[in-house]
Structure 1
Amino acid sequence: MTKHDLDPSDVAELERRKRASLGQLLLRSARLLDERAVARVARGARGVSQVRRAHTALMPYIDLEGTRLTDLAERARVTKQAVGQLVEELEAMGVVERTPDPEDRRAKRVRFTPSGIKALLHGLGVLQELEEELTRSLGQKQMASLKKGLTALLAALESSEASEPQEEPPERR
């Protein structure tokens, strides 16, 4: 099927709905912000120049005291194998390490190394710079309103997430 086989009214309706969709706006905004942040981190790399978007997507799920690989996979909603590959790459960069799990000596926890913490702080600094640039572009009032709305949206989504059944990662189906 080519683009020419599509009904023009369906294509127009699809584009209209995509532009009107909050989910689409949030996903595109997050992707663009993440791409800009990763590009800046790579340009001003402090020992971590190979970081990709897949790595940055995993990092928020790693607790400072460490997180089991299976828990990381569940939180990120990807397979254990995919998380294992990302963790291996982050280990090779010196961002994370695997340590014995104090609750189960057979298990390992993934945690940030001291240089990984420094890399996170650098990344958060880059995000702060981008936020300041966006604030200059959008204006202080609009940025404050946006943050307030997104904070409320996140709280609503997190509270409703607890009451909804979770879909299992692909490896468990």
Structure 2
Amino acid sequence: MNTGLLLYIPYRHLENRVMDAIRAAGFEVTLAQARLLQRINPGGSRLTELAEAAQVTKQTAGFLVDQLEKAGYVQRVPDPRDGRARLIHATDKAREAAPIAEAEIARIEAEWEQHVGKRRMTQLRATLKKLCEITDPYR
């Protein structure tokens, strides 16, 4: 099994568990919507920025933002730097899901640490952070 797949399988497990926890708490969002939501900057994001960060077309991002806006998870506001542009902001409703996701991630990481041991988990995190130096285009 290649390293990319070895990284992806645990991530997919984590993502599925987080989505299950969010849905169980009453938040009706799809995985595609959630992936877009988590990429919204605190000060708002332009649609083109979201599309690029989520690696989807501008049309797909626009469709997802339309759905999220109808459900009350985002709002579009004028960009103060450019009156022609709009910024997408997460609403309080969207931000209420964050603690649920964070708590589930903490549970999962604790399970992983119990399974592999504290030292290995610490080494894994340090190694992955080091790899982010050369792989994360948004850092």
TM-score, scaled to structure 1:
0.73
Matches within 5 A, 1:23-102: 23-45=4-26, 48=27, 50-102=28-80
Distance of 1:140 and 1:111 partners within structure 2: 38
Deviates more, 1:33-42 or 1:119-128: 119-128
Relative to structure 1, the CA distance from residue 28 to residue 124 in structure 2 (aligned partners, 3 Å threshold; closer, same or farther) is: same
Distance of 1:90 and 1:82 partners within structure 2: 12
Report sequence identity in percent: 33
How much does 1:149 deviate? 0.9
Distance of 1:94 and 1:126 partners within structure 2: 23
How much does 1:115 deviate? 2.1
Secondary structure (helix, strand or coil) at the match of 1:67 reads: coil
How much does 1:51 deviate? 1.7
Distance of 2:55 and 2:25 partners within structure 1: 30
How much does 1:44 deviate? 2.6
Distance of 1:128 and 1:108 partners within structure 2: 35
Structure-2 residue corresponding to 1:107: 85
Say yes or no: does 1:132 pair with 2:110: yes
- Of 126, 143, 160, 2:121 maps to 143
Q: Which runs of 5 or more residues in structure 1 are unaligned?
A: 1-18, 163-173
Higher RCO, 1 vs 2 (CA within 8 Å, ≥6 residues apart): 2
Distance of 1:51 and 1:124 partners within structure 2: 16
Q: What whole-Å deviation, never above 9, does each CA across 1:61-110 have from its counterpart, x for those lacking one?
A: 21010000011112222111111111122222322111111111121111
Distance of 1:99 and 1:124 partners within structure 2: 27
Instruction: Please tell me whether the aligned partners of residues 90 and 96 of structure 1 are also in contact (alpha carbons under 8 angstroms).
Output: yes
What amino acid sits opposite 1:85 in the alignment?
F
Distance of 1:127 and 1:60 partners within structure 2: 14
Runs of 4+ that moved beyond 6 A: none
Instruction: Please tell me whether the aligned partners of residues 37 and 130 of structure 1 are also in contact (alpha carbons under 8 angstroms).
Output: no
How much does 1:122 deviate? 2.1
Count residues in correspondence.
138
Relative to structure 1, the CA distance from residue 115 to residue 68 in structure 2 (aligned partners, 3 Å threshold; closer, same or farther) is: same
Instruction: Please tell me whether the aligned partners of residues 17 and 104 of structure 2 are also in contact (alpha carbons under 8 angstroms).
Output: no
How much does 1:37 deviate? 1.2
Compare CA radii of gyration and give the structure with the larger one.
1
